A and B are shown apart, each in its own frame.
Chain A
Amino acid sequence: MKISEIMTTSVHTISSWKSVSSAAEQMNERKIGSLLVVDHNEVMGILTSRDVRSAHPNRIVADAMTPSLITVTPDQDIWHAYHLLKAHQIERILVMEDSQMKGLVTREEIMRKLSESLDAHTGLYRAPYIRYIGEELLKQRKPFHLIFVDINDFGRINKEHGHPFGDDVIRALSTRLVNLVHEKDDFLCRYAGDEFVIISLADEERIDEYLKQITKPMVLDDVPISVAVGYLNGRKEPEFFSHSLKELLRKVSLMSSLNKQYKKERSWGDLYDLRRQEEIDISSKESEDEQQGEGVRKGIPNIYL
């Protein structure tokens, strides 16, 4: 989703010489929450209703405006604008292209658009969210942990206990994941169906704890629920940044599939020890079939709870 899809191009302006009280009048008359401060066709800053409230009405606009403008380009992703809003705790972002003002995008509009990306069932963001986060981190060359969580035998659960129960399972796992992650440095989404993805910037110690918690036994209405987990540590994966997010997701989902295949009741510790010994070579260039066969041969255990 591009900024150009939601930005407004009709932006009201004011000169930096005007008084704050006249700016307030203009904002009231037009029923708007901000004015762009423009002198001689040059954007100087933005005056928001928050600025007006906190400045003396006699001051000139130049002394009340927010001078350091946060800007985006029309072709940038809405998720990018959302993270800028959060990071700078602002309500509006100016849309600029080649030093030319193109419009304005508001928090309200961004949130409305992003709510369309919310999964109604769990309240989590859907796959585009995690794709944006992952691609951005790769672009910034920031290593991250990638965790893929997949419910074992979800089809069978639906078949034997009904879809409403399957929905409850999804919700229960989603709640467990939401309670686990930290807003500051973790990113969680319902990737598809019974699959969830976490991208985390946490330290390895916290990731170990996540993996233990995610794979803890869960019983819902006397039905045991287990999950398969694929995990990739960006700090240890060779040539991590040479992969696209799509490739990394494929690898990590493949790891969880391998775990599904090897259905023995073994603890997470078994897999974790194997992972530490680097027996799971996810950077291998072998085909998926070969990788699966190799994975099973090496005895990668299922995360079975």
Chain B
Amino acid sequence: MASAFEYAPAPESRSIVDIAPSYGLFIDGEFTEAADGKVFKTISPSTEEVLSEVAQAGEADVDRAVKAARKAFEKWSALPGSERAKYLFRIARIIQERSRELAVLETLDNGKPIKETRDADLPLVAAHFFYYAGWADKLEYAGFGQRTTNGHSGSNPRPLGVAGQVIPWNFPLLMLAWKIAPALATGNTVVLKPAETTPLSALFFADICRQAGLPKGVVNILPGYGDTGAALVAHPDVNKVAFTGSTAVGKEIARTVAGTEKKLTLELGGKGANIVFDDAPVDQAVEGIVGGIFFNQGQVCCAGSRLLVQESIHDELLDSLKRRLSTLRLGDPLDKNTDIGAINSAEQLARITALAEQGEAEGAERWSPACDIPESGYWFAPTLFTNVTQAHTIARDEIFGPVLSVLTFRTPDEAVAKANNTQYGLSAGIWTEKGSRILAVANKLRAGVVWSNTFNKFDPTSPFGGYKESGFGREGGRHGLEAYLDV
């Protein structure tokens, strides 16, 4: 609908980023072709334009990269922590310097709005390297006590060795930072596999490692598909496996490392409940609900994808929410005024579409604001489902898209019971003005992160991770060091 206050287009220039027509694997400090010469294309999900052709790592490449990381481990782990810290500080600074370039790159390759890459992803990426840089020479203060098993009693925390890391496409560079920063700070070396739809920012990171003078082999990047990740996880000379992605793949990885010495951390799916009580400040809650599910097109494991509204304010809240959704702007992710960008891939769009159709078929009521969908690229309008019950598929399965399921409750106990009625346990939100209620409800929620009167806040000092089938281990904060130390 046209109004007197239409926005003029405000596109960020893409000239700041120079994408090469092809990229290799990054092994032992060099870009190199895959052993079997395989390549794949990475495209921009908002335009379907081919951005670059990327080498696809196979088993032989995984082996080569693990060997390089193993060789580098000896010197890297022997460096004084204060020296490792300086490399990480350098990386953090270079990321800050190149932050605009990386934000545009990430928006092109992932489809998310520039205002999110610019204001959320990149500042957090740099912050993670800064935070963990400072830990590198302070590990004996990390509070892991003395270890009495495995034959070394009272020793200082030691690195594990080679870390095999597999990351998803929803926050390509941020997930890289979450994985690589603590691994390097603790003295491990890394072989990282970025997702097949978003390999570019990881390859740009390889260049940042070069600029920082990071020793060869400390960081290795292997673009590829699921089979590349599976080969990395299964490699006998990998000492630590870190994975962020789907619960199904997480379970497969847990089976793969069973019976080995490999230490494992998993950050998996979620079906976060955002609980709004009748005394919540409605406008703030609406902002939190919108951020909770439409941030990053809902492609967030800790998204608040189940809205639990106290019955007495259901209609009022839904009216406000729909009004607010009508102001969201979907379209060119490079436009600084865009709120909702493109879905990351055709495959993901098909999954979201199918689940939304199933929601309708099972009798939930579907609503979306009037919204123009661009002709090329992968798009899904922000979508609300009301009249949802706990039995509905859309209330149980992770959709990983801009789809919100609305349920109601009458008492705090019912809210808690419904919030906890899921195989997942990653995140939850509580909206109420009553402090005692926040604390009581937060206490009872089986979730690793509870946001009260806010949502989707992240910080490198703050541990993040799930209960139940949302995985195990924590990333971020002092707790995040444990995954990379023999403690």
Co-complex (A, B)? no
Q: Which residues of B contact A (CB under 8 A)?
A: none
Q: Which residues of A contact B (CB under 8 A)?
A: none
